[in-house]
């Protein structure tokens, strides 16, 4: 495969004068800059779960590969039936079973025993279910009314050999893998997994199991983001947690540039005294701080470091989770060759009431209730991490002012739709 184009150093720059960027505008700008940055490899189909097709794949054989019976029963030529209310056909010796076809041609006016999946012998075009017949000696009796071609599958009725089975950019799951095997495909070209580094910053962070003081917190974001990346089909690279110093941050970025195709950071990307991530990126990289009109979230740092795209997420775990799904997920998919994919929301009745002001897109932690409605977490506070575990998706409220009353339709997107 030809060498892939790299992202431009200034690909994350917003137009001058932009202050608060609407979510849709930010996504459109991000989409325009993303392109695949990984190469391809050819793998056995059985080893491609979660991978992205690098080229369209054609069927190597038709499915079904031969005309066959859809049921256990008896096969005959429809044209040989008479006009009587009860049909009577003599049975030929033998049968047609899956993998062991009937040898020869079935004479006109006769029938043959056939099993599900078996090839239709020469001379037949219709099958009647065994439950609908009576066999008397070597004669078959059944009522008229069956349609020509009943209970038969035509060769290639699903797909014919040579037709495109799956298009480039398709993510391969169990269904797609089964389909490829059915049409005779043994190996496929897929994009290599995007290696996405995850790093946390902050002197206050401690790792699970470590003792803490009252002024320290556990590093929630790194394992959470790594789990998200794994769920999305990327290769998460744990780059560790770094302290609040320019030297530590710069060293982490240098190492990520050697190992990764993209990097997610959390914390230190705003403009405070201890926001060394933004300071280093601005001093020696290409740094842009996007102020997004979104709740939760708002600051989103996007940068390039030695050719490495860096997504600087907020340090607050709820905001980091939200912005990872809304912004990082589609961008990373494009970098891995999947194209730009945004989940489709569903419309559900609200089991809550809310008023919102104009100016920001809001993502409320929500879950579907047993009655088919959607409820939201009791608090909108972004420090309530328990709301992420409680929820199974987002209710997305538009930028405009809005009053939601119980029973109104709202847009709900399950977390699983981001996969």
For residue 170, is pLDDT > 70? yes
Mean pLDDT of 349-373: 95
Token pair recorded at residue 65: 């590969």
What span, in angstroms and rounded, lies between the C-alpha atoms of 405 and 380?
A: 17
Instruction: Return d(Cα 295, Cα 264) in angstroms, integer.
Output: 20
Q: Are 60 and 99 in contact (CB under 8 A)?
A: no
Per residue in 229-281, pLDDT (tens digit) is 999 999 999 999 988 888 989 999 999 999 999 999 987 665 554 567 778 88
pLDDT for residue 2 is more than 70? no
Confidence of residue 61 (pLDDT cuts 50, 70, 90): very high
What is the C-alpha to C-alpha distance for residues 418 and 231, in angstroms, rounded to an integer?
9
Q: How far is it, in rounded angstroms, from Cα 372 to Cα 29?
A: 36
Q: Looking at the predicted structure, is the pLDDT value of residue 27 above 50?
A: yes
Summary mean pLDDT of the chain: 92
Per-residue confidence band for 363, with pLDDT thresholds at 50, 70 and 90: very high
- pLDDT attached to residue 298: 80
pLDDT in tens, 345-356: 999 999 999 999
Q: Which residues have C-beta within 8 Å of that of residue 44, sequence separation ≥ 6?
A: 186, 187
| Domains of the chain, each with CATH number or no CATH | 23-39+193-335 (3.40.980.10), 55-63+157-191 (no CATH), 68-153 (2.170.190.11), 346-418 (2.40.340.10)
Residue 1: its pLDDT value, please? 44
Q: How many CA atoms lie within 13 A of 114 on its CB side?
A: 31
Give the least confident one: 107-116, 143-152, 279-288, 331-340.
279-288
Residue 366 φ/ψ, nearest 5 degrees: -145, 165
Do the Cβ atoms of 334 and 169 come closer than 8 Å? Answer: no
Q: Does position 152 have pLDDT exceeding 70, yes or no?
A: yes
- Across 28-57, average pLDDT: 95
Helices within 285-408 (DSSP H only) = 317-323, 329-335, 386-390
How far is the CA of 28 from the CAs of 151, 223, 414, in angstroms? Answer: 50, 29, 22
Q: What is the pLDDT of residue 226?
A: 97
Report the alpha-carbon angle 132-133-137, nearest 5: 165
Q: Tell me: the pLDDT tens digits for 382-405?
A: 889 999 999 999 999 999 999 999
Q: How many CB atoms lie within 10 A of CB 369?
A: 12
If one compares 188 and 381, the residue with the highest pLDDT of the two is: 188
Interatomic CA distance for residues 397 and 299, integer angstroms = 19
């Amino acid at each position: 495969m030809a060498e892939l184009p790299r992202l431009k150093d200034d690909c994350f720059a917003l137009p001058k004068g932009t202050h608060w960027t609407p979510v849709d505008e930010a996504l459109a700008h991000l989409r325009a800059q993303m392109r695949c940055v990984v190469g391809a490899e050819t793998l056995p189909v059985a080893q491609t779960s979660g991978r992205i097709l690098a080229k369209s794949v054609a069927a190597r054989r038709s499915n079904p590969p031969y005309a066959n019976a859809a049921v256990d029963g008896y096969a005959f030529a429809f044209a040989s039936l008479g006009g009587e209310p009860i049909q009577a056909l003599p049975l030929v010796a033998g049968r047609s079973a899956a993998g062991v076809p009937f040898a020869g041609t079935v004479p006109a006016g006769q029938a043959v025993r056939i099993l599900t999946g078996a090839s239709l012998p020469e001379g037949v075009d219709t099958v009647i279910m065994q439950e609908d017949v009576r066999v008397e000696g070597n004669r078959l009796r059944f009522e008229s009314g069956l349609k020509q071609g009943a209970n038969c599958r035509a060769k290639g009725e699903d797909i014919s050999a040579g037709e495109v089975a799956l298009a480039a950019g398709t993510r391969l799951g169990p269904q797609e893998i089964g389909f490829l095997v059915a049409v005779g495909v043994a190996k496929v070209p897929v994009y290599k997994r995007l290696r996405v580094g995850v790093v946390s910053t902050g002197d206050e962070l401690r790792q699970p199991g470590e003792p803490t003081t009252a002024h320290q917190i556990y590093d929630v974001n790194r394992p959470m983001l790594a789990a998200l990346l794994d769920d999305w089909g990327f290769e998460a690279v744990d780059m560790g947690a770094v302290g609040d110093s320019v030297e530590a941050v710069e060293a982490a970025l240098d190492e990520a540039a050697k190992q990764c195709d993209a990097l997610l950071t959390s914390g230190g990307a705003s403009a405070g005294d201890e926001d060394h991530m933004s300071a280093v990126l601005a001093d020696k990289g290409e740094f842009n701080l996007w102020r997004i009109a979104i709740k939760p979230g708002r600051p989103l740092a996007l940068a390039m470091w030695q050719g490495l795209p860096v997504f600087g997420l907020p340090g607050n775990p709820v905001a980091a989770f939200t912005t990872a799904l809304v912004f990082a997920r589609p961008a990373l998919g494009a970098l891995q060759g999947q194209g730009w994919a945004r989940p489709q929301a569903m419309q559900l009745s609200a089991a809550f009431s809310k008023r919102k002001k104009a100016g920001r897109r809001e993502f409320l932690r929500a879950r579907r209730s047993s009655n088919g409605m959607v409820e939201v977490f009791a608090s909108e506070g972004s420090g309530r991490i328990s709301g992420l575990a409680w929820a199974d998706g987002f209710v997305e409220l538009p930028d405009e002012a809005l009053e939601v009353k119980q029973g109104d339709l709202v847009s709900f997107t399950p977390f699983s739709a981001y996969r």
